[in-house]
Amino acid sequence: MNILVINAGSSSLKYQLIRMEDETTLCKGICERIGIDGKYSYKTMTGYKVEKEADLFTHKDAFDVILHEMVQGEGHVIDSVNEIAAIGHRVTHGGDKFSHSVLVDEATIDAIANMRDISPLHNPPQAATIRACRTVFGEALPMAAVFDTAFHATMPPKAYTFAIPYKYYEEHGVRRYGFHGTSHRYVSGRMAELLGEMPHRLITCHLGNGSSLAAIKDGKVVDTSMGFTPLDGIIMGTRCGSIDPSIVSYIANLENLHERGMNRLLNNESGLLGVSGVSSDFRDVLEAAENGKERAQLAADMLEYQLVKLIGSYAAALGGVDAILFTGGIGENAMGLREQVMHDLAYLGVTADLAANNSRGEEVRISGADSKVEVWVIPTNEELVIARETVRLAKQAKA
Ligand code: ADP
């Protein structure tokens, strides 16, 4: 059984076709600059690869191109669309409505689109993408929506409520939702498999362009660092993370900025980029720091410091910590950052295995044999979670 997994942004679309019998990726790629000029990549497990410019005026054009490559292209991996059993879509915001993955019908697509108030950047384009996908692949093909917020739905009110007038929660849904849930879910599940049981108190650190931490008790999220939107929490590539909220009105007055301008400043011009003045990419920031650029060093130090501080506060929330794990582009690759964090967590009884930590993108325990806390690197695989969820729902629908 093959499952197509779709992760769409407003101008990009990542896809992956997974054969579920052995959970192997048959092909994958990305369509970019949709609605601008358009280019795409297509790669198969047998080593066939294309990267092309193409007229991708809409997401429908992107789906047409993907389907053509998969079925008829030189590197085709299936003979007909009928060999795709179902499609799974990553959806950013499930709000209060979706605490689990669901099969997609018209009402679901409307509900996803109608969350535009709380998720203006992500939900409307994702709803439109699901519609375009149904047009290309046909309405009979089962489709699932898997929400980035869903895994965090177990948070208690004391963790998800903001201390502002309560009516904004009741009437407008303003609360902490958390994101990257599919990643936190995959790595925590994998941790349980590796250790033979789910750690009682686990802290998962997803560190990429966007970053978030989750405090997980017996497999259930009790707190997470992203909030009402993905802007909250730890310093990110271009997002500011947690700041004093009154800075918003102060800078808005100073620069005569309104909602859109402030959103751009905090989402796209802040974080590692804003502080370092060099780049949003952590590799560039580290390189600049090594070359003596002080603000790049400051940005890197802030990331490490905020990480240690947040892990400490989650250890307090959980009443201690049994396991910590790193994932995401930075978490899986930045060995120096991990070493420093483990060093700074010595007070929790963390010791490091520096030889094991000297690795990139691998599933490995990096804490020492005498460490009181298991520390691991676990590469994330959100697509696999989406594919498994899609299979589960498609089977349920058939039964
Ligand atoms: P996204 O959140 O867009 O999925 P990723 O999870 O791929 O992003 O993470 C991208 C981040 O990972 C970038 O900041 C990049 O610099 C960082 N990264 C990738 N490789 C390394 C490395 N070897 N050392 C440090 N950071 C790295």
Residues belonging to the active site: 148
What's the pLDDT at 125? 87
Main-chain phi, psi angles of 365, to 5 degrees: -85, 125
Ligand 1 atom with the shortest distance to the CA of 380: 6
pLDDT band at residue 16 using 50, 70 and 90 as cut-offs: very high
Locus of tokens 């700041």: 243
- Residue 212 CB less than 6 A away from ligand 1: no
Asked if 230 and 179 count as a contact pair (C-beta separation under 8 A), the reply is yes
Locus of tokens 């092909």: 27
pLDDT band at residue 91 using 50, 70 and 90 as cut-offs: very high
Pocket test for ligand 1, best of 272, 279, 283, 383 (most atoms within 8 A of CB): 283
pLDDT in tens, 28-65: 999 999 988 899 999 999 999 999 999 999 999 999 99
- Residue 267's Cβ-count burial label (10 Å; 0-12, 13-18, 19+) is middle
pLDDT in tens, 124-149: 889 999 999 999 999 999 999 999 99
The Cα 107–Cα 126 span in angstroms is: 14
Ligand 1 mean position, distance from CA 236 (Å): 11
**Is the confidence at residue 399, as pLDDT, over 90?**
no
- Residue 271 CB less than 6 A away from ligand 1: no
What's the pLDDT at 119? 81
- Residue 209 CB less than 6 A away from ligand 1: yes
- Residue 178 CB less than 6 A away from ligand 1: no
Ligand 1 atom with the shortest distance to the CA of 237: 14
The Cα 222–Cα 184 span in angstroms is: 12
pLDDT in tens, 103-131: 999 999 999 999 888 887 788 889 999 99
Spell out the SS3 assignment of the chain: CEEEEEEECCCCEEEEEEECCCCEEEEEEEEECCCCCCEEEEEECCCCEEEEECCCCCHHHHHHHHHHHHHCCCCCCCCCHHHEEEEEEEECCCCCCCCCCEECCHHHHHHHHHHHCCCCCCHHHHHHHHHHHHHHHCCCCCEEEEECCHHHHHCCHHHHCCCCCCHHHHHHCCCCCCCCHHHHHHHHHHHHHHHCCCCCEEEEEEECCCEEEEEEECCEEEEECCCCCCCCCCCCCCCCCCCCCHHHHHHHHHHCCCHHHHHHHHHHCCHHHHHHCCCCCHHHHHHHHHCCCHHHHHHHHHHHHHHHHHHHHHHHHHCCCCEEEEEHHHHHHCHHHHHHHHHHCHHHCCCECHHHHCCCCCCEECECCCCCCEEEECCCCHHHHHHHHHHHHHHHHHC
Residues 6 or more apart whose CB falls under 8 angstroms from that of 313 comprise none
Ligand 1 mean position, distance from CA 237 (Å): 9
Asked if 99 and 155 count as a contact pair (C-beta separation under 8 A), the reply is no
Mean pLDDT of 256-278: 96
Ligand 1 mean position, distance from CA 384 (Å): 20
Closest by Cα among 210, 96, 81 to 152: 96
Ligand 1 mean position, distance from CA 93 (Å): 23
What's the pLDDT at 122? 85
Ligand 1 atom with the shortest distance to the CA of 210: 2
- Residue 237 CB less than 6 A away from ligand 1: yes
The whole-model pTM stands at 0.94
Q: What proportion of the chain, given as a percentage, has pLDDT over 90?
A: 93
Nearest protein Cα to ligand 1, atom 12: 329
Ligand 1 mean position, distance from CA 331 (Å): 8
- Residue 208 CB less than 6 A away from ligand 1: yes
Ligand 1 mean position, distance from CA 196 (Å): 29
Average pLDDT, the chain: 96
Pocket test for ligand 1, best of 282, 304, 378 (most atoms within 8 A of CB): 282
The Cα 138–Cα 39 span in angstroms is: 24
